[in-house]
Amino acid sequence: MKEIIAIVRPNKVTKTAKALEAVGFPALTVIKCFGRGKQRGYLDANLPDVVDIEKVVEEGEKQGLYMKYIPKRLISIVVNDQDVPLVVGIIMKVNRTGMIGDGRIFVLPVEDAIRVRTGEVGEEAL
């Protein structure tokens, strides 16, 4: 089993959930989160590399070009190993705009799963 963690734009969550459900993956967890990537919170992707980052951050905040953290959504879904390419592909297709801030996907191993209500374990718990 694998856990797929996707950090995506807030406006893409519903479309992502519907796309996953349409191919048989209705169960997922969505968490509001804040973060930033390599763009360091810049809303304008065309800013040049800078030497004095403190000055640029201060100016950027004044002009509304910089945010310490950008609102995102974290989607977590646990799937069987063979389903990882399909789920990752769907998440990529729905969330890729080609612009900075499209997000990240992480795939992690899951040692075990237990359904609390029934006591089922492993893949049966999914």
> Confidence band (pLDDT; 50, 70, 90) for 51?
very low
Is 56 part of any domain?
no
- Give the pLDDT of residue 126: 87
Q: Is residue 27 part of a domain?
A: yes
- Look at residue 15 and tell me if it is in a domain: yes
| CB proximity list for 97: less than 8 A, separation 6 or greater | 9
In a domain, 89, yes or no: yes
Burial of 67 (C-beta count, 10 Å sphere; 0-12/13-18/19+): middle
Query: Is the Cα dihedral 65, 68, 73, 76 positive or negative?
Result: positive
Domain count, the chain: 1
Is 64 contained in some domain?
A: no
What pTM does this model have?
0.78
The domain spanning residue 24 has which CATH number?
3.30.70.120
For residue 94, is it within any domain? yes
pLDDT band at 55 (very low <50, low <70, confident <90, very high): low
How large is the average pLDDT for residues 95-118? 93
Check pLDDT > 70 for residue 82.
yes
Is 47 part of any domain? no
CA distance 2 to 4: 6
DSSP E strands in the chain: the ranges are 2-8, 29-35, 70-79, 104-109
Write out the residue range of the structural domain in which residue 9 sits: 2-36+71-125
List, for residues 5-36, the tens digit of each pLDDT value.
Answer: 999 999 999 999 999 999 999 999 999 998 87
Residue 84 falls inside a structural domain: yes
